Amino acid sequence: MQSTISITELANDVDEGLSSDPKYLNSKYFYDAIGSAIFQKIMHMPEYYLTDCELEIFNQQKKSIFQHLNLNDQAFDVVELGAGDGLKTKILLEYFLDQNPAIKYIPIDISDEAVINLEKDLRRELPNLNVEGKIGDYFGMMEALNEIDTSPKVIMFLGSNIGNFNHQKSIDFLSHLGEVMNANDNLILGFDLKKDPDIIMNAYNDPHGYTASFNLNLLRRINEELDGTFELLKYEHFEVYDPQTGTAKSYLISKTEQSVKIGALEKIIHFKKWEPVFMEMSQKYDEEMIQNLADEAGFEIIKNFTDDRQYFINSIWKPKQIG
């Protein structure tokens, strides 16, 4: 089952990216059914420490997290942007439900299959939980957050997804989110911290080849949905990490000079030998960077929670009150 992203939207973004200099592709299109399945494999790799870190934080500090949300006995909604399989979120949901049965979980994901499977899992694992899944791009869903109902909201953006945006896009996204949040809403963000570069490279350039497959799958998707002629074996995945800025970047490199026809665009795209196509960034942070991000986006940090190795932070934010 495919996501609800339209062929026209995909075609326009692919056209824009591959017509640019340098070339790029939009990482939001990674998550069709096949891409989502590959990402589940990535999340369970021993090298991909991010999953284990958040699992540890939620398992060990769920009581403190709930207390710092300061919701008391109010009914509230948990809105998760980019929910995926909900693996980590289920830990908090189970605890929240024990504290207050009047909660509703609203997972939002671009993948139909992810939302449908998550709803099915939760009906089995947490049958008393009210679940209302929504399918779509969370940028487009933000405007509808306050139309869901008037209950306080705990909005979650986990897994260091915020790190997929550059600094300005992060500010724009968070500022916009703050505009649609109410004073009694909370935001829980995941931040991957700066650490030994080898640990980061092993997570994003894994020995199993899952990350390479994840990136190459977007070329397969273009072939399938836009009548493309990419030959996947003629491209290789390449990862770089700059420890000074804390930015990891993924590329696909054309191993030969070649031309690719994309029927839906009625275009032929030319690639030079060793020409890179930028696929995704993943920003790593320190606490000063997190504080600056909150300040610039108009939030106050309520509490930072970290794992024992201090690899990762889950941070509770609230919109700053004016006046």
For residue 3, pLDDT over 60 is answered with: no
Q: Calculate mean pLDDT across residues 108-132.
A: 89
Angle between helix axes 89-99 and 49-69 (nearest 10 degrees) is: 20
pLDDT band at residue 2 using 50, 70 and 90 as cut-offs = very low
Residue 39 lies inside a defined structural domain of this protein: no
Backbone torsion region of residue 244, taken as left when φ is above 0, otherwise alpha when ψ lies between -120 and 50, otherwise beta: alpha
Q: What is the CATH number of the domain that holds 125?
A: 3.40.50.150
Please give, one letter per residue, the 3-state secondary structure of 38-59: HHHHHHCCCCCHHHHHHHHHHH
pLDDT band at residue 288 using 50, 70 and 90 as cut-offs = very high
Q: Is 246 helix (H, G, I), strand (E, B) or coil?
A: coil
Q: Calculate mean pLDDT across residues 107-126.
A: 88
Handedness of CA 134, 139, 141, 146 (dihedral sign): positive
Residue 292 lies inside a defined structural domain of this protein: yes
Percent of residues, the chain, with pLDDT higher than 70? 94
For residue 146, pLDDT over 70 is answered with: no
Query: Are 60 and 136 members of one domain?
Result: yes
Query: Are 92 and 212 members of one domain?
Result: no
Overall domain count for the chain:
2
Task: Tell me the C-alpha to C-alpha distance, in Å, between residue 110 and each of 2, 36, 52, 83, 307.
Answer: 9, 10, 24, 9, 29
Residue 176 lies inside a defined structural domain of this protein: yes
Residue 274 lies inside a defined structural domain of this protein: yes
Query: Are 226 and 118 members of one domain?
Result: no
CA 317/CA 188 separation, integer angstroms = 6
Please return the burial class of 270, using the count of CB atoms within 10 Å of its CB with bins 0-12, 13-18 and 19+.
exposed
Percent of residues, the chain, with pLDDT higher than 90? 75
Q: What pLDDT sits at residue 323? A: 57
Query: Are 70 and 122 members of one domain?
Result: yes
For residue 257, pLDDT over 70 is answered with: yes
For residue 176, pLDDT over 80 is answered with: yes
For residue 144, pLDDT over 90 is answered with: no
The listed range with the strongest mean pLDDT (82-96, 168-182, 228-242) is 228-242
Q: Calculate mean pLDDT across residues 137-141.
A: 70
Mean confidence (pLDDT) of the chain: 92
Residue 35 lies inside a defined structural domain of this protein: no
Q: Calculate mean pLDDT across residues 129-147.
A: 77
For residue 32, pLDDT over 60 is answered with: yes
Backbone torsion region of residue 267, taken as left when φ is above 0, otherwise alpha when ψ lies between -120 and 50, otherwise beta: beta
Q: Which of 21-35, 52-66, 228-242 has the lowest mean pLDDT?
A: 21-35
Among candidates 307, 239, 230, which has minimal Cα distance to 265? Answer: 230
**Which structural domain, as residue segments, surrounds residue 315?**
49-193+285-319
Query: Are 163 and 302 members of one domain?
Result: yes
Q: Which tens digits make up the pLDDT trace of 46-63?
A: 999 999 999 999 999 999
Query: Are 137 and 14 members of one domain?
Result: no
Q: Is 284 helix (H, G, I), strand (E, B) or coil?
A: coil
Higher-confidence residue of 110 and 231: namely 231
Alpha helices for the chain (secondary structure H): 7-19, 33-43, 49-69, 89-99, 112-125, 138-141, 145-148, 167-180, 197-204, 210-226, 287-297
Residue 44 lies inside a defined structural domain of this protein: no
Residue 36 lies inside a defined structural domain of this protein: no
Q: What pLDDT sits at residue 248? A: 97
pLDDT band at residue 1 using 50, 70 and 90 as cut-offs = very low
Query: Are 161 and 128 members of one domain?
Result: yes
Q: Which tens digits make up the pLDDT trace of 183-213?
A: 889 999 999 999 999 999 999 999 999 999 9
CA 261/CA 253 separation, integer angstroms = 17
pLDDT band at residue 239 using 50, 70 and 90 as cut-offs = very high
